[in-house]
Structure 1
Amino acid sequence: MTLLGSRHHQHPEDFMTLRGTARRTLEPVLGVERTKRLRRAERTWRRKAAKAISPDAPQRPGSVQQGQKPEKFQPSDPFAAFPKPSSTLHEMLGRLHKRIQPETYLEVGVRWGDSLTLARCTSVGIDPDFKVTQELHGPMHLERTTSDEFFARDNPLAVFDGRPVDLAFIDGMHLAEFALRDFINIERHMAPGGVVVFDDMLPRNPLEAARDRKTVAWAGDVYKVVTVLREHRPDLVVLPLNTSPTGTLVVLGLDPTSTALDERFDQLVPFLEALDPQDVPEDLLGRSTALEPGVLLDTVDWDTLRALRHRPVGDSELRAFVDRLRELPTLG
């Protein structure tokens, strides 16, 4: 049992009410900070429970040890019809590194190091079970811990010497509540003109979007973050990209001072943790609201963004630049 009960034995409305009641009851007794620490501990327990009920990612070819059997998954359903991607995730991310030229880079979900190897600056990679097989470049700090535990530290990004994060990549747990919480934690440390990238935002069919993993290629239900950001953070620029295999999301116009998502997180839990089967929006399955990666990478004036990215939140030049990105043509 979790500190606030198990969602598997409650209706979402009951779960949300219970969390709110527990918070109101505990804060007067324990104080705000101790209550927050208690809630973080509860979230960490839930992460471990989610990992226990979801199979690990498939191992790389040749990595299955003698005597072990690889995980068996059912064949995927037919994919939805969508424009053929012209770029893979890592091709896009590599080009984005070159355009942005970040001085600081943060990554949640290192795994084999396929994306971390693209960084050429001071970088932090967070993963409780990384198995890096790629060559890494630049000052690199690997943290073998969960993102919740990492961000609960007093000064988690001390290695950046007070500099904000210019580029962040979120590819951790493939469950919506974890991805959103990672964004909430990361945005606090971002440069206002920085860029946050999510993986697995455009599943190709509902089975690939299942919370309980059933297929080899698995996006999980992190696609729900798109809806949350559009509805609850209209100040952000949210740009899905048609990359293979399971799409990418680029977020700009960041506000490290915003508390909107953190304050509404408990209210969003029923939506984020809705059980399978998943009801993936048609515009995400068909990628009609996504951009061609080249449109973003080759038409945006990244030199200007680099010059503006450390301006304060609300700077008129930075705001005007970011707002223009909303006008980029989609595939629809």
Structure 2
Amino acid sequence: MNRLNVLQSLSRQKKLKNYLEIGVLNGHIFFKIQSHFKVAVDPMFKFDTLRRIGKTIVNPYNLTSQYYEVTSDDFFEQHAHQVFANRPIDLCLIDGMHAYEYVLRDIENTLKYLSDEGVIVVHDCNPVTPQAGITFQEWNGQGFWNGDVWKAVLHLRSLNKDINVFVLDCDYGLGIITKGKPENPQSMSVAEIKNLSYQDLSENREQWLNLKPKEYFYEYFKIPRQ
């Protein structure tokens, strides 16, 4: 199971259609989603007009997609209100800047426009090596990097009382966020979270992330296994 499987299952089985993707890069995920209302946000798309045309031929749903080549902060400040004025977000993939403060802003901004049954999927929530889990300031641009997205998960589980957050143990950790009563909330302050290390995560991984086996996805959303 990976993020594309999760997104496609939610779109087809739960009829979650209005789609936002933050951190699109080459469109590997975005172009495959079937929805007449898709919004792509990335400060530097890694595809050109010719590729967009080709992907529209393969998947006609891409014909009506909207593209915003700006940072997610700029998108939410300048465009989101108009884009989602009459169409709340049903489904969102957040896979942009893998840093605690950045991804937290992306999640909180998305929540402002999320429908009651909407789902946010966050990539890179469960780094499995110290090198993969370092901060952006520590990363030298070399090697595989998940960043400290996991701190955003712990932040939400500690400070937000109206959403439920858990992480599926697959695809480097898929954070799942829905509206509703939180399960096993945590109680850390922002200052405490900022000072946590990868070693701290290793010792408390299951509790802090509310880590679930990948099969839990089907149980939680009450959809048939594929």
Distance 1:97 1:118, change over 3 A: farther
> Could you say what secondary structure the match of 1:152 adopts?
helix
Q: Who is 1:128 aligned against?
A: 43
Q: Who is 1:258 aligned against?
A: none
> Could you say what secondary structure the match of 2:218 adopts?
helix
Identical residues among aligned pairs (%): 28
Aligned-residue offset at 1:117:
1.9
Q: In structure 2, give the amino acid aligned to 1:91.
A: N
Distance 1:178 1:299 in 2: 27
Q: Does 1:252 align with 2:178?
A: yes
Aligned-residue offset at 1:233:
1.2
| RMSD of aligned residue pairs (Cα, Å) | 3.0
Q: Who is 1:297 aligned against?
A: 218
Q: Who is 2:23 aligned against?
A: 109
> Could you say what secondary structure the match of 1:148 adopts?
helix
> Could you say what secondary structure the match of 2:116 adopts?
strand
Q: In structure 1, give the amino acid aligned to 2:114.
A: M
Q: Does 1:241 align with 2:165?
A: no
TM alignment of 1:35-114, pairs within 5 A:
87-114=1-28
Q: What TM-score do the two structures reach when normalised by structure 2?
A: 0.77
Aligned-residue offset at 1:98:
2.2
- The correspondence for 1:213, drawn from 139, 145, 148, is 139
- Flag the structure with larger Rg: 1
Q: Who is 1:51 aligned against?
A: none
Aligned-residue offset at 1:287:
9.5
Which deviations, in whole Å up to 9, do the C-alpha atoms of 1:42-89 show, x marking residues without a partner? xxxxxxxxxxxxxxxxxxxxxxxxxxxxxxxxxxxxxxxxxxxxx233
Pairs aligned (count): 203
Distance 1:281 1:227 in 2: 13
Give structure 1 stretches of 5+ with no counterpart: 1-86, 256-266, 304-332
Question: Would you tell me which structure has more strand in proportion to its own residues?
Answer: 2
Q: Who is 1:174 aligned against?
A: 98
Distance 1:178 1:271, change over 3 A: farther
Distance 1:156 1:238 in 2: 24
Residue 187 of structure 1 contacts residue 254 of structure 1 at CA under 8 Å; is this kept in 2? Answer: no
Aligned-residue offset at 1:285:
7.5
Q: Does 1:226 align with 2:153?
A: yes
Q: Does 1:147 align with 2:72?
A: yes
Residue 95 of structure 1 contacts residue 297 of structure 1 at CA under 8 Å; is this kept in 2? Answer: no
Which deviations, in whole Å up to 9, do the C-alpha atoms of 1:113-139 show, x marking residues without a partner? 111123211111100011135725422
Distance 1:299 1:252 in 2: 11
> Could you say what secondary structure the match of 1:205 adopts?
coil
Which deviations, in whole Å up to 9, do the C-alpha atoms of 1:180-219 show, x marking residues without a partner? 0011111111102110110000000222111122552210
TM alignment of 1:14-33, pairs within 5 A:
none
Q: Who is 2:184 aligned against?
A: none
Q: In structure 1, give the amino acid aligned to 2:150.
A: Y
Distance 1:125 1:106 in 2: 6
Q: What TM-score do the two structures reach when normalised by structure 1?
A: 0.54
Q: Who is 1:282 aligned against?
A: 203
Residue 23 of structure 2 contacts residue 95 of structure 2 at CA under 8 Å; is this kept in 1? Answer: yes
Residue 130 of structure 1 contacts residue 144 of structure 1 at CA under 8 Å; is this kept in 2? Answer: yes
Q: In structure 1, give the amino acid aligned to 2:151.
A: K
Give structure 2 stretches of 5+ with no counterpart: 182-188
